[in-house]
Amino acid sequence: MVPLVNFAPGLNVSRLCLGTMTFGEQNSLQQSFRILDDAYASGINFFDTAEMYPVPQCRETQGRSEEYIGRWLKESKVPRDSVVLATKITGPSGQMTWIRGGPVCLDAKNILEAIDSSLRRMQTDYIDLQQIHWPDRYVPMFGEIEYDPDRQFSSVPIEEQLEALGSAVDAGKVRYIGLSNETPYGLMKFLEIAKRGNYPRIISLQNCYNLLCRNFDSGLAECCHHEGIKLLGYSPTAMGILSGKYFSPDGGPQNARMNRYRGRYSEGESRYNLSKLAVRSAAQEYVNIALKHNIRPASLAIAFVLTRPLVASVVFGVTDVSQFREALDSCRVHVTSEIAAEIDAVHAKYPNPCP
């Protein structure tokens, strides 16, 4: 069984969190139910989704991931208080015009409308963890590494965002709030303003963390340590690269995400670009470490994230039962000092090739 950890007062979550961004696109309703059933039976009580899911995002499928979770809870008669539901509000987007016209910004109206819509799709009265998917203001994200001050023009005051989230908490619609894809500056400003204005406090940060992307350790880790913020590390296998499946002579299964959606998933492709020598070389060396120690590469990749001291839970996604078993096996993998040293040697050679 997947172990639990205390996440917040009165809230224990499993060390593995099932991400659902394939539900409604790569996974049918029946397949999604099977994965959810297996996860729940294995002791996973933590499920993460977002109003924009599934990906690649489009008008026709938007919201299906939340809808599938809601249907599963109802049709499988899963007690609501036995699971922890986390979802995310879409930040400003010039592409997803079908979500509140963009959305242009994360003002109070957008935040409250998003929460009500998520509640309706998931057929529940409350959300355990409501997160902002990415900041309202401009920040480098999804592979970008340089901050351009000329791109920051205006943004909704953090006070307004916290006041809207606080009103949802007061109304019993949300229990806790968190951030995602945030920076040290953003996290600390949310904490500072929440304290000053007596708004609900951020309890978690969901940011990318894997063998190819350990940027969290520079800046954010210190903030989270001193402020008691839990990290939810997403993309532990770097969109499947660290499983090794893309290194086969034929380039991997045709239904694998990087092959099936080539050219349609810019956020993932820009970050996990195997045409870059450092990315391919680092990933291959990490895969080789796993194989050398008779561990499935995906299992070692997830197990590594579980060893990080500030990680409360690892958000992983799967599309079939075999992938799920590899994720589950990560809880039984022992990252020895020898393995850790080999990983650190690769990291020193190729530091964070997928920021």
Which pLDDT band holds residue 176 (cuts at 50, 70, 90)?
very high
At 88 the pLDDT is 98
Given the candidates 3.20.20.100, 3.40.47.10, 3.40.50.2000, 3.40.50.300, the CATH classification of the domain at 4-240+301-333 is: 3.20.20.100
Q: Is the pLDDT of residue 267 over 90?
A: no
At 141 the pLDDT is 87
Which pLDDT band holds residue 25 (cuts at 50, 70, 90)?
very high
Q: Of 263, 276, 208, 277, nearest to 239 (Cα)?
A: 208
Q: Is the pLDDT of residue 254 over 90?
A: no
The stretch 217-243 carries a mean pLDDT of 97
Q: What whole-number distance in Å separates Cα of residue 86 and Cα of residue 78? A: 16
pTM of the predicted structure, to 2 decimals? 0.97
Catalytic residue list: 53
Could you give the 3-state DSSP secondary structure of residue 202? strand
Contact of 231 with 207, CB cutoff 8 Å: yes
Q: What whole-number distance in Å separates Cα of residue 241 and Cα of residue 257? A: 10
User: What's the distance, CA 246 to chain centroid?
Assistant: 22
At 252 the pLDDT is 86
The stretch 10-31 carries a mean pLDDT of 98
Q: Is the pLDDT of residue 243 over 90?
A: yes
Which pLDDT band holds residue 256 (cuts at 50, 70, 90)?
confident
The stretch 73-88 carries a mean pLDDT of 98
Could you list the beta-strand ranges (E) of 148-220.
Answer: 174-180, 202-208
The stretch 12-28 carries a mean pLDDT of 98
Contact of 236 with 305, CB cutoff 8 Å: yes
Which pLDDT band holds residue 312 (cuts at 50, 70, 90)?
very high
Contact of 273 with 279, CB cutoff 8 Å: yes
